[in-house]
Amino acid sequence: MSQPSALTTMQAQLNTAIIMPAFNEQASIADVIHRVSASTGLPIWVIDDCSTDATAKCASEAGARVISLPEQLGAWGATQTGLRLACREQLACAITMDADGQHDPHDIPRLIAPIAQGEADVVVGSCPERGSRLRHVAWWLMRLTSGLRCKDLTSGYRALNHRAIALMAGPSANHLEYQDVGVLLMFERAHLRVTEVSVLMPDRKSTRLNS
């Protein structure tokens, strides 16, 4: 049971929360929250993106702090809402992850570790082998044209330190059209230290995603 003790040590150094944007995820949200809580004990903030189902209720009953948006902002808008709250509450670290079960909470200690040790500003949970051959070609073209070095350009499973949180909470990140590559480009231009850790991404428990 070394993993919880390692996370407890990091929590002593970092004020950390999980930010989880969600849209119509009532089928999976409670199970995801329970698994994250059991694995980490970290506070979970669900940003309900104006769901039309019982996502907010299920998340609240499962123990999450729920922030319900009055209108739908999409995946990035919901995530940025959580990051703005993290900035306002002066968190040292925030983990962004999906609400559909694609991200394994057992990887969270490895995402936090480089930040806790002062080795990175941003840690990306990377699973570049997933997806189709066409996606891999698209990633190669994006890396070629953008200069990005990340192997996984579309992972939303990330740990951000206070510098990265403040950058993403600011007005320059308000209108990102491509939240994955756009966010990575902002990190690059701000000279933040971005590293990747290898993670597994199981099949999604829900196919209903934020737009």
What is the model's pTM?
0.83
Tokens in use for 131?
A: 């997806």
**pLDDT band at residue 129, thresholds of 50, 70 and 90?**
low
SS3 state at 199 = coil
> Which residue matches tokens 């929360």?
17
pLDDT of residue 156: 87
Nearest to 156 by CA among 181, 131, 133: 181
For residue 158, the cross-strand partners are 96, 124
pLDDT of residue 86: 97
**pLDDT band at residue 146, thresholds of 50, 70 and 90?**
low
pLDDT of residue 209: 42
Locate the DSSP E strands across the chain. Answer: 16-22, 44-48, 65-68, 93-96, 122-126, 158-161, 194-198
**pLDDT band at residue 52, thresholds of 50, 70 and 90?**
very high
pLDDT, mean over the chain: 85
The arithmetic mean of pLDDT across residues 98-105, rounded, is 92
pLDDT above 90 (res 88) = yes
Nearest to 20 by CA among 48, 46, 53, 54: 46
pLDDT above 60 (res 3) = no
C-alpha angle 207/210/211, rounded to 5°?
Answer: 115
Q: Determine what percent of the chain is predicted with pLDDT higher than 70.
A: 78
The arithmetic mean of pLDDT across residues 163-181, rounded, is 84
Phi, psi for 95 (deg, rounded to 5): -110, 125
**pLDDT band at residue 152, thresholds of 50, 70 and 90?**
confident
The arithmetic mean of pLDDT across residues 106-125, rounded, is 95
Query: CB within 8 A of 175, min separation 6: which ones?
Result: none
**pLDDT band at residue 21, thresholds of 50, 70 and 90?**
very high
